[in-house]
Amino acid sequence: FGWIQILNPEVFGALITVNNRDEWIYHVAYNPTNGESPEDFSEERCCEILKKAIGVSNLDIVIFSILPWAAAEQTATRFQDNRVFLIGDAAHLMPPAGGFGSNTGIQDAHNLAWKLAAVIHKQAHSRLLQTYHDERHYAAEVTTEYASNLLFSVIKKGVSTLNNMDHLAVTVGYKYNSTAIIEENSDTTHRMDQLELNGKPGTRAPHMWLRYQGKRISTLDLIGENFVLFTGKDNSPWRTAARNVSSHLGVPINVYGIGSQGDCVEYEDSWEALYDVTSQGAVLIRPDGFVAWRTKEGASNPHLLLKQVMASILW
């Protein structure tokens, strides 16, 4: 149990657990435009509100504290100014509805960390850092607006200004657009009314179960430290290309062949169908788990193609 919305003829609010035994927080709204203020909520009144909310009139209640807070929606105009970067609550404030705040802050840091590391280790040009704002600002704006609309729908007891975006798509289903992504020529727009992860550049690499080195793992377990190149099981040209490009640029690239045989053996799903490639195709994934580039077919010169892709992303 974590959170419950309580609505009856006398009270409206949200009960949230602290320890799931005997400590709880109860949130109730007040309206300053109607002359209400935090001073109206004495300990006696709060006890009565709680009894009406819980439905037990003889409950022995001990109140630790009574504190006001105001929901805020705010996104910084810029997330970077030269050597200064904003992440988390310094970059964006949002209501707690939906639990997006921590997720968004962690996603900021994840996006920025590998880029900073690449620039500091001279594996990338400093212009790569500009893509932090380009990618995260839009995602943060979408999330803060959605969280505010979600809170509004709760306070107004069902009257909502929510658009048709999907909750999970807002959390992990958005798409990046920047020079750190090699876009595909496509007439289809990215959907936010449902979670749609299919290997498209700019989106998160989708999960699927694999058997790797005798263990059952997710594709996501292979991502996080270096660039990753997913290919089909017969991947010697791509493996050679990645080794040569990695040596030339000084940027590690991990290569995994996926299929019925090879490095990573599929359990149920087909990686070709999930990532929308052929057996000769390849998908390049950044250290933050986002697809940087994809070729659905093979290449006549994998080394030259991969070198151009990596150089375009990093330099």
Residues 301 and 216 occupy one common structural domain? yes
Residues 223 and 141 occupy one common structural domain? no
Q: Tens digit of pLDDT for each residue in 171-183?
A: 899 999 999 999 9
Instruction: Give the mean model confidence (pLDDT) for residues 256-262.
Output: 88
Could you tell me the CATH number of the domain that includes residue 113?
3.50.50.60
> Is 69 among the domain residues?
no
Least confident of 142-156, 189-203, 210-224, 267-281: 142-156
Residues 213 and 310 occupy one common structural domain? yes
* Strand-strand pairing, 264-266 and 253-259: parallel
The last residue of one of the domains, among 122, 143, 172, is: 172
pTM listed for this prediction: 0.84
Residues 78 and 48 occupy one common structural domain? no
Residues 286 and 215 occupy one common structural domain? yes
> Is 288 among the domain residues?
yes
Alpha helices in 218-295 (DSSP H): 236-249, 271-275
Name the one residue in this structure whose structure tokens are 């970059």.
91
Q: Tens digit of pLDDT for each residue in 119-134?
A: 999 999 999 999 999 9
> Is 235 among the domain residues?
yes
Helix (H) or strand (E) holding 47: helix 43-54
Residues 26 and 81 occupy one common structural domain? no
> Is 267 among the domain residues?
yes
> Is 148 among the domain residues?
yes
Are 86 and 79 within 8 A, CB to CB?
yes
> Is 216 among the domain residues?
yes
Residues 46 and 90 occupy one common structural domain? no
> Is 78 among the domain residues?
yes
Residues 127 and 219 occupy one common structural domain? no
Mean pLDDT of the chain, nearest integer: 90
Q: Tens digit of pLDDT for each residue in 22-66?
A: 899 999 888 888 898 999 999 999 999 999 998 998 889 999 999
Token code pair at residue 258: 């996926």
Residues 165 and 227 occupy one common structural domain? no
Could you tell me the CATH number of the domain that includes residue 271?
3.40.30.120
Q: How far is it, in rounded angstroms, from Cα 122 to Cα 311?
A: 13
Q: Tens digit of pLDDT for each residue in 203-221?
A: 999 999 999 999 999 999 9
> Is 191 among the domain residues?
no
Distances from the Cα of 64 to the Cαs of 47, 50, 228, in angstroms? 11, 13, 51
What's the number of domains the chain is made of? 3
Look at residue 163 in the predicted model and tell me its pLDDT. Answer: 64
Residues 41 and 96 occupy one common structural domain? no
Token code pair at residue 48: 């009565």
Residues 44 and 82 occupy one common structural domain? no
Structural domain including 157 reads 74-172
